[in-house]
Chains A and B, each alone.
Chain A
Amino acid sequence: MTESRYRRLLALYPRDFRREYEDEMIGVLMADPRPGPAQVLDILGHAMLAHLRQLAPLPGDGWARSARLVQLFGALLLLAAAVRRVAGIPVRLLRGWIDHLVIDPVDLFRVGAWTVVLIAAVFGLRVVGALGAVAGLAGEIVGPGRYYLDTPAMVLYTYWVMAAAAVVLIAGLAAEPGRLRLRRGRGESAEPGAPGDRVVRGVVPVTVAGALLILHGFWLLLGPWQVRMAMPYAGLALVTFAVYRQAPEVRRRMVAWAVPVVVTLPLTRLGFGGFIEHNMRHPEALRLIGPAQWAALVLIPVAAFMAAAELNRRREATRGRERTGDDGEMAGERGFGVPAAGHVRAHE
């Protein structure tokens, strides 16, 4: 790769970070004989982390750890949602409700893509995870997007899934590396759920939540509707419990990651209520989503994430000051050089 291409990539870092390290990094990148997708993804992921660290009050890997868990749990739930779309078909076939097995190729594609992301999340395969998540996101867009011109509301109803897929993709790029384990070995000690701890807590409840999501898809073929009504709440409670089991700094960041997905629900249901109603009442004159509405659909979740991360930062900064009794800026609070040492300029 050329220097100008590397400089364009490094432009994704925060300005302070670039001012401090860009020239050095260019020298290292030009000397490194390993250009390619892995190098690009490494830069993209760490550029994102550098932005996130600006929002964190303390040095540490809380963002990278939370990103890894969001990638893992998100892939698990998106895989469950993908399996849900096809799992009921064999049951319907056995019950004689349908004559033959017909599975939408896009649904199968989504199952494959999220399976890849899930495996990559466990084994820490960043490139594979990114490619799988791009495929998964494409599948989540193409699935309802095929019917956009006939029923634009379908895109709105499933927009939260697209947002979740995008969050999993981004989180995968910012995720901490290394293989994860589901059980702790004997004699191992680490603060459970903290950055650097390879053992993941909360996989079982999230897996059960995924199983409930799948069952929810065709439960009415099997049992009473009251059970089906309770399933989403039980699933939500299980996922909440899994998040609660993480270390506090990781947990708070996981909530921030979830905000852009959660905010799409009121955004699409309330913000676009009139739009959906118009299309229901006037099938002869369908309205499509306009440029400003698309911008709102993209920018509001991003803004919500930034707001959640900023609230998190302020809360932790306040707590940090209370703990240390120091109301000044903590040394090296945000990285990008060391305030105490000052910025060291190059000399000729």
Chain B
Amino acid sequence: MTDAPMREPTFLVLTALAAEPRHGYAVIEDVAGMTGGRVRLRAGTLYAALDRLRAEGLIEVDREEIVQSRLRRYYRLTGAGERSLATETARLRAQATIAEQRLSARRTQFGGATA
């Protein structure tokens, strides 16, 4: 793996699973809710991310159910997934802090007026 920033769908899927184990469609709904509807994952994107995250050991299967004759598999965050999400969150927070500081300095410099 590279140290490149985590892609947004990956970050959002991990965040969705950080709250509680969820099945595929619940992840889509939670991500849509978290982002105010801006990101609404599609099945192909979601399962590519879930498969990759499982392969990397960041999530694992929690349990399976059959609901209305359909398989419903719940996924949960692993310890490695928790650490990876924490690292990415810290990275994003650091960047956001820099942005906030610079915006704040800019507002002070321009006396509150926007350029």
Interface residues, chain A, with chain B CB atoms under 8 Å away: 17, 20-21, 23-32, 34, 38-39, 42-47, 49-50, 53, 58-61, 176-178, 187-188, 190-191, 194-197, 247, 249, 331-338, 340-341, 344-348
**Contact status B47-A335, CB under 8 Å:** no
Q: Which residue of B lies closest to A58 (CB)?
A: B1
How far is it, in angstroms, between the C-alpha of A53 and the C-alpha of B20 when the chains are bound?
Answer: 29
Interface string of B72-108 (1 = CB under 8 A from A): 1100000000000000000000010010000000000
Interface string of B45-66 (1 = CB under 8 A from A): 1111011101111001100101
By a CB distance below 8 angstroms, the chain B residues around A347 are 64, 66
Q: Check: B112 CB closer than 8 A to any chain A CB.
A: no
Question: From residue A201, how far is it (CB to closest CB) to chain B in Å?
Answer: 13
Q: Check: B18 CB closer than 8 A to any chain A CB.
A: no
Q: Which residue of B lies closest to A340 (CB)?
A: B57
15 residue pairs of the A-B complex, CB under 8 angstroms, read: A21-B47, A28-B25, A39-B42, A39-B44, A43-B42, A50-B48, A176-B7, A178-B7, A187-B95, A194-B2, A331-B57, A333-B55, A335-B54, A338-B57, A338-B60
By a CB distance below 8 angstroms, the chain A residues around B72 are 24, 27
**Contact status A190-B4, CB under 8 Å:** yes
| Apart from A20-B51, A194-B2: 11 A-B pairs, beta carbons within 8 A | A24-B72, A24-B73, A28-B28, A32-B43, A43-B43, A59-B1, A60-B52, A335-B52, A337-B51, A341-B60, A347-B64
- Given A24-B72, A59-B56, A39 contacting B66 (CB threshold 8 A): no
Q: Check: B113 CB closer than 8 A to any chain A CB.
A: no
**Contact status B2-A344, CB under 8 Å:** no
- Given A24-B24, A60-B1, A32 contacting B47 (CB threshold 8 A): no
Partner of B43, one of A39, A194, A345: A39
How far is it, in angstroms, between the C-alpha of A345 and the C-alpha of B63 when the chains are bound?
Answer: 10
- Given A23-B70, A196-B7, A332-B57, A46 contacting B2 (CB threshold 8 A): no
Q: Which residue of A lies closest to B59 (CB)?
A: A338
